[in-house]
Amino acid sequence: MTLSANNVSVKLGDAEILKGVSCQVEPCRTTAVIGANGSGKSTLLRTLTGEYSPNEGTVLLDGINIASLSPLDQAQHRALMSQNPSIAFDFLVSEIIEMGWVQDSLPHKFLKESLAEVSRLCGIESFLQRAFNGLSGGEQQRVHFARVLLQIWNASHDDTSRYLLLDEPTSNLDMAYELEILKLTKLVSSQGMGALVVLHDLNLAARFADFVYLLVDGRVFCEGTVVEVFTEEVLSETYQVPIRVERHGELNRLLVIAN
């Protein structure tokens, strides 16, 4: 039960962005993808969602090639949170979240229940009936997160696996929201979802990831647990700046500091 890229190469135009990348998103685990700008992180994510089809290699969703799955089948098992889309019309918050509901075959009752659970989890129950465009950026982000969660919410408690993919979810958030989104991601992954997060901020990756893929120039340069990947040699070489990695005694986690 994984979402996996197997030896995947992706060409966009003439440029080969991914060169034989393999990675796995496993249930109950938060996996982070890190790497410098242009290393292929987002492309990898969008290959896993089927937006880009690989020139070589396969993407498997629980063992099935996603090329053979319908868009709806895929949508029911994996969701992508990307940059905040702006909304032209004045939708209510609850209507935006409902857009994530793709479990067509389930009765209405499940939508109501799941919507309530998801919005409680994201702390947005109080403004479900407010206009989405009237919310602050951070609140909007939380609403989108709730929508993405609803998309793969296991409403009927079946035994299929779900995967949550986040593309730099924290890029336009202040620190508090950043932490909140990642804490929520961690929470749902601890309850059984597989999560894959593309992150710029190495300290966030060090804090939240159970497993890390470090991409360099379209290849997996290094993979493993945080302790295995976050070494001064590896990070300094990747980012081409001297980087220090220290363990914070009180917090008991790795801190990454650029010199």
Partner 1 sequence: MVEEAQNPTDRMSWLKRLGIVSKYSFSTSQAAILVGLVVFLLVTFVLASMTGALWLPLFDIVWNPSSFDIERTIFFQLRMPKVLMAGVVGATLALAGACLQGMFRNPLADPGLLGVASGAALGATSFIVLGGYLPFPNWFEPYGLPVAAAIGATLVTLFLYAFTRRQGRLNLVTLILVGIAINAMGGVGLGLLQYASDDNQLRSLTFWMMGSFGRSTWDAIIPAFFIMAPASYFLLRSVRSLDLLQLGDGEARNLGIDVHRVRKSIVFGVAAIVGAGVAIVGMIGFVGLVVPHIVRLLGGPIHRYVIPASALLGASTLILADLISRTIVVPAELPVGLVTAFIGSPCLLWLLLKTRIHS
| In the complex, minimum distance from the CB of residue 163 to partner 1, in angstroms, rounded to a whole number | 12
| In the complex, minimum distance from the CB of residue 128 to partner 1, in angstroms, rounded to a whole number | 12
* Sheet with 194-198, side-by-side order of all strands: 78-81, 163-167, 194-198, 29-35, 211-216, 219-224
Q: Which stretch binds partner 1 (CB under 8 A): 56-64, 75-83, 177-185, 232-240?
A: 75-83
Which string of x and - marks every residue 195-234 that binds partner 1 (by CB under 8 A)? ----------------------------------------
- Report residue 225 as tokens: 């647990």
For partner 1, give the closer residue by CB, 47 or 238.
Answer: 47
Q: Does 76 bind partner 1 (CB under 8 A)?
A: yes
Number of residues binding to partner 1, judged by CB under 8 A:
32
Q: Does 72 bind partner 1 (CB under 8 A)?
A: yes
Distance between CA atoms of 149 and 184, rounded to whole angstroms?
A: 10
Q: Does 88 bind partner 1 (CB under 8 A)?
A: yes
Q: Where on the phi/psi map is residue 30: left (φ > 0), alpha (ψ -120 to 50), or beta?
A: beta
Which string of x and - marks every residue 103-122 that binds partner 1 (by CB under 8 A)? -x-xxxx-x-----------
Which string of x and - marks every residue 139-178 that binds partner 1 (by CB under 8 A)? ------------x---------------------------
Distance between CA atoms of 48 and 82, rounded to whole angstroms?
A: 13
At residue 224, φ and ψ (nearest 5 deg) are 155, -165
For partner 1, give the closer residue by CB, 51 or 228.
Answer: 51
Distance between CA atoms of 81 and 179, rounded to whole angstroms?
A: 16
| In the complex, minimum distance from the CB of residue 232 to partner 1, in angstroms, rounded to a whole number | 37
| In the complex, minimum distance from the CB of residue 132 to partner 1, in angstroms, rounded to a whole number | 10
Distance between CA atoms of 152 and 114, rounded to whole angstroms?
A: 10
- Report residue 113 as tokens: 């229940």
Are 103 and 76 in contact by the 8 Å Cβ rule? The answer is yes
Distance between CA atoms of 80 and 91, rounded to whole angstroms?
A: 21
Q: Which residues of the shown chain bind partner 1 in the complex (CB under 8 A)?
A: 49, 51, 70-76, 79-80, 82, 85, 87-92, 95, 98-102, 104, 106-109, 111, 151
